[in-house]
Amino acid sequence: MSLVKTPSKGGIFGTGISEWFALPVGLAFSIPAIKFDWYIINEETQLAACFIAFCLVVYTQGGEAIYKALDERAQSLLKEHRDAEADLIEEMESLVVHLGHQLEIPDLMKDMNSLREETYIKLSAAGAIKPKHDLKVQVERVLSMIAVEEASNTEKLKVSLMQEATASVSEQFRSSKQQKKAALDAAIATIKGGSKGPVDDPVKAAFLSFLKEKGAAAAKSKDTSLEDAQLAALLAKANAIAESEGFFFRFDSAGVPKMVAK
């Protein structure tokens, strides 16, 4: 047996009759009920009637206002709840993006470690080459200084030798009338230019003779005090430069370079 639920028609007891017809029906039934004491009205009945009347007045007069107030409160709570949910969803999405970025960290660290290893290898190779390059620069610096000092010493020696030769030749010509006459004759012949061949210059010959004798004497001499003094001065200057510029080597008294510990 199947039970079929009949839809309600509304009204009085679902009959479809308007509730307003309940009032005259109630009056028609209540009058004889009270008359014949079928229903006794007491204080509880009166209180119930007043409460029902109050509810009816509130429902009919203030129901809409109460509904709007409760509905506004409900809409406000719903909006706050939706805003809170939106903020929470946004935070969760940001967290998901952040966690997604963190997944790339191991690969980044691996690349950084590889780059660091390559850099250390290159730095190690550069570190092996740099001392050699620095040593080359230092040696070139010392050689340049030695060349300058030797050129300066040579120039000083030339000047000193020429001064000595000039003084010696001048003394010879002052003390010898024959050489004075020969020099004068050579000068006059050179000015006239009548001779077919070159005129012998006694002054030039005197200078050449002095230089030849000076060279022979220097070759036979065993005195190295001048060279030793120049070498000592040169080594002192080279060691001073090496000390001030932090070179890898110093020179001993014999001029041999010695490595120094850093």
The backbone region for 132, taken as left when phi is positive above 0, alpha when psi lies in -120 to 50, beta otherwise, is alpha
Q: What is the DSSP string of 22-67?
A: HHHHHHHHHHHHHHTTSS---HHHHHHHHHHHHHHHHHHHSHHHHH
Q: What is the pLDDT of residue 208?
A: 81
Q: What is the pLDDT of residue 1?
A: 41
Q: What is the pLDDT of residue 62?
A: 74
pLDDT single digits (tens) 88-145: 999 998 888 888 777 777 888 888 888 888 888 888 877 777 788 888 888 888 888 8
Q: Which of 125, 214, 124, 117 is nearest to 164 (CA)?
A: 214
Whole-Å CA distances, 97 to 89, 103, 105: 12, 10, 13
Ranges of residues in the chain with a pLDDT under 70 are: 1-23, 27, 39, 179-180, 183, 185-188, 190-200, 261-262
C-alpha to C-alpha distance for 104 and 125, rounded to whole angstroms: 32
Q: Which of 106, 139, 145, 119 is nearest to 235 (CA)?
A: 145
Helix pair angle (105-175, 177-192), 10° resolution: 110
Q: What is the pLDDT of residue 200?
A: 66
- Cβ-based burial of 9 (10 A; exposed 0-12, middle 13-18, buried ≥19): exposed
Residues 6+ apart with CB under 8 A from 225: none
pTM greater than 0.75? no
Domain boundaries, the chain: 19-97, 135-218+225-259
Q: What is the pLDDT of residue 124?
A: 81
Q: What is the pLDDT of residue 135?
A: 81
